[in-house]
């Protein structure tokens, strides 16, 4: 209770019932039923976030005409941490000091043993150098190399391996001991100098015309809170590949909301809503500048440049759309439409700044698994699955944890995928397959009595199947695409494997069938022809 000189403030317990998380803030709603008597009542709500935005603070009476909130303000003050006040400093200090000394002695022992083993490792390295030098000398003099050499090398290898394992264990132990020491020092510092924290209180003035039960709603916005979509994909692999090289499988795709908040108030058993609304985006029009046109003499030369262009796509198309879904594909992120996702159950999110994941949706769908290789980007063969988004809504852009039969295998990301849209997930390299790519570029040469210069590019891709299974692999290479008439790209189909041609984006694709323990070679030849007045390439 507090006395403001006129009336006492009634302390009310108004819990947080709903939180709407945005990209960089959160809207907090507190609600509770209260009994009010006729007249003016000053209500106080303790334990609110001290960083709440004052201008967003509002109070209202829901579902009642006999009362209204006249004013709502927030008051802040510095208080001592209650958990430090309630302790017994003397006994606590002695206990922590004894534990600190014990941990420091343990850390010193680990450091001494690490230094000793480091010198031992250096000695082993020196012995190994001398051993191999002596072995090389015996071989050069054609001396008989008996089995004792193999035993000596094995002993050195085992000793060094055991030594390295012990060093790794010691390093982990020292790291853990240092973390414990840091926590102990922090606790000792707090006992020596108890810290203060900022606390906030909301006071609302309520004018009541008729006594009765009313529902008080307090609404405000706090910084220090955000959320991001986070996905998990689990691949349930099928049987052997079919005649098209595709493996039937199923993908379990789960979307979570990863929440962080350090607003100073815990959210206990609240309903969470995750919104893509961007309240901080401005609406000011862009600044216009003068665009001055001037006459310029046409150059006698054509200056061009080679550039990389990424083919943008939001999905693969072809999926069945739910009823009422617009035919246009959305863009990235939220597709240009503000979306809100509501958690199915109430959740507790402490104000500790740590990430918490809340499941939003999950679906299981049939998928086709293929092996693809793009040797220019990575010299390995990747497993790729193609599936549809069968969730209740779109998949927002975000990271994806990949899980296969062996467990967690890596992390990738997806862009915005509309409901019913097909999309791809890469599951990492296939361990049984090896790829090597080499290129050869001939010197520029000009044909006699011709104004064109020709440069020949040769690309060779070698693949090896080291496993016991047959594989069907899709290999993709690319050739440049010209945008002007004075630069031409032509594939030499006679010297290119399979007489392949490129598509409109310059992609050349082969479908290769590889038997177990087999080797294959693919070659691509193309010519870049440019006019003699072209510069830059």
Q: 147-192 vs 89-140: helix axis angle to the nearest 10?
A: 160
Tokens found for residue 364: 């299981």
Decide if 457 contacts 427 (C-beta within 8 A): no
Phi, psi torsion values for 528, nearest 5 degrees: -105, 115
Decide if 101 contacts 181 (C-beta within 8 A): no
Phi, psi torsion values for 525, nearest 5 degrees: -120, 130
**133: region left, alpha or beta (phi > 0 left; psi from -120 to 50 alpha):** alpha
Question: Which long-range contacts (C-beta less than 8 Å, at least 24 apart) are formed by 163-171?
Answer: 163/117, 163/120, 163/121, 163/124, 164/121, 166/117, 167/114, 167/117, 167/118, 167/121, 170/110, 170/113, 170/114, 170/117, 171/114
Secondary element (H or E) of residue 510: strand 507-514
| pLDDT at res. 324 | 42
Decide if 267 contacts 16 (C-beta within 8 A): yes
Decide if 355 contacts 342 (C-beta within 8 A): no
| pLDDT at res. 203 | 92
CA 241 – CA 16 distance, rounded (Å):
54
CA angle (170 as vertex; 165, 174 as ends), nearest 5: 150
How many DSSP H helices and E strands does the chain contain?
A: 3, 27
| pLDDT at res. 31 | 93
CA 211 – CA 199 distance, rounded (Å):
32
CA angle (119 as vertex; 117, 123 as ends), nearest 5: 110
Kindly state the greatest CA–CA separation across the chain: 112
| pLDDT at res. 85 | 44
Decide if 216 contacts 206 (C-beta within 8 A): yes
The β-bridge partners of 229 are 257
Q: What b/e sequence results for 74-100 when a residue is b if at least 16 CB atoms lie within 10 Å of its CB, and e otherwise?
A: beeeeeeeeebeeeeeeeeeeebeeeb
Length reported for the chain: 537
CA 436 – CA 522 distance, rounded (Å):
11
Q: What is the pLDDT along the chain (537 residues), one digit of tens a residue?
A: 444 445 567 888 899 999 999 988 999 999 999 888 888 889 999 989 999 999 999 999 987 778 889 999 999 988 765 554 444 456 777 888 888 889 899 999 999 999 998 888 888 888 888 888 887 877 777 777 777 777 888 888 888 888 888 888 999 999 999 989 888 888 887 777 656 678 899 999 999 888 888 999 999 999 999 999 999 999 998 665 555 545 569 999 999 999 999 998 999 999 999 998 877 655 677 788 888 888 877 776 667 666 666 655 545 554 444 444 434 433 336 777 888 899 999 999 999 888 999 999 999 999 999 999 999 998 999 999 999 999 988 999 889 999 998 889 889 999 889 899 999 999 989 889 999 999 999 877 666 667 888 889 999 999 999 988 999 999 999 999 888 888 888 999 999 999 999 988 899 999 999 999 999 999 999 998 888 888 777
Secondary element (H or E) of residue 103: helix 89-140
Q: Give, in order, the Cα–Cα distances in Å from 30 to each of 27, 220, 274, 424.
A: 10, 9, 17, 42
Give residue 451's Cα distance to chain centre.
Answer: 52
Secondary element (H or E) of residue 163: helix 147-192
Q: Give, in order, the Cα–Cα distances in Å from 149 to each of 41, 124, 142.
A: 94, 16, 15
């Amino acid at each position: 209770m507090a006395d403001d000189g006129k009336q006492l403030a009634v302390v009310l317990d108004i819990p947080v019932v709903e939180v709407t998380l945005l990209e960089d803030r959160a809207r907090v709603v507190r609600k509770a039923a209260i009994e009010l008597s006729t007249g003016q009542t000053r209500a106080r709500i303790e334990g609110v976030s001290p960083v709440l935005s004052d201008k967003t603070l509002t109070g209202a009476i829901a579902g009642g005409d006999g009362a209204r909130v006249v004013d709502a303000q927030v008051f802040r003050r510095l208080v001592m941490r209650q958990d430090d006040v309630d302790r017994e400093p003397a006994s606590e200090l002695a206990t922590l000091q004894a534990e600190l000394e014990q941990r420091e002695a343990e850390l010193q022992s680990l450091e001494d043993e690490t230094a000793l083993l480091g010198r031992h490792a250096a000695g082993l390295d020196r012995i190994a150098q001398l051993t191999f030098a002596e072995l090389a000398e015996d071989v050069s003099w054609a001396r008989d190399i008996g089995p004792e050499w193999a035993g000596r090398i094995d002993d050195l290898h085992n000793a060094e391996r055991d030594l390295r394992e012990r060093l790794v264990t010691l390093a982990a132990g020292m790291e853990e001991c240092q973390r414990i020491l840091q926590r102990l020092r922090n606790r000792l510092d707090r006992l020596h100098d108890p810290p203060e924290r900022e606390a906030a209180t909301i006071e609302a003035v309520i004018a009541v015309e008729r006594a009765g039960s009313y529902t008080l709603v307090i609404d405000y916005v706090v910084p220090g809170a955000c959320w991001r979509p986070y996905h998990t994909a689990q691949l349930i692999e099928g049987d052997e590949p079919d005649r098209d090289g595709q493996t039937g499988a199923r993908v379990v795709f789960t979307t979570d909301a990863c929440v962080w908040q350090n607003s100073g108030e815990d959210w206990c058993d609240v309903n969470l809503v995750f919104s893509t609304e961007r309240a901080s985006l401005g609406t000011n029009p862009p600044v216009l500048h003068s665009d001055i046109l001037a006459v310029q003499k046409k150059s006698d030369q054509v200056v061009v440049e080679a550039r990389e262009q990424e083919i943008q796509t939001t999905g693969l198309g072809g999926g069945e759309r739910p009823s009422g879904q617009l035919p246009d594909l959305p863009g990235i992120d939220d597709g240009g439409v503000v979306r809100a996702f509501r958690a199915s159950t109430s959740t507790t999110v402490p104000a500790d700044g740590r990430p918490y994941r809340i499941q939003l949706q999950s679906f299981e769908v049939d998928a086709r698994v293929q092996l693809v290789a793009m040797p220019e980007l990575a010299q390995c063969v990747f497993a790729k699955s193609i599936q549809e988004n069968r969730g209740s809504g779109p998949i927002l852009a975000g990271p994806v944890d990949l899980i296969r039969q062996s467990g967690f295998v890596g992390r990738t990301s997806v862009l915005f995928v509309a409901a019913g849209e097909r999309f791809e997930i890469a599951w990492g390299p296939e361990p049984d397959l090896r790829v090597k790519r080499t290129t050869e570029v001939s010197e520029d040469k000009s044909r006699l009595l011709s104004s064109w210069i020709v440069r020949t590019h040769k690309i060779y891709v070698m693949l090896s199947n080291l496993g016991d299974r047959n594989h069907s692999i899709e290999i993709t290479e690319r050739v440049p695409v010209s945008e002007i008439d004075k630069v031409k790209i032509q594939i030499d189909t006679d010297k290119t494997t399979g007489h392949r041609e490129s598509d409109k984006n310059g992609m050349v694709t082969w479908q290769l069938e590889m038997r177990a323990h087999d080797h294959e070679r693919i070659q691509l030849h193309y010519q870049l022809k440019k006019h003699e007045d072209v510069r830059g390439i």
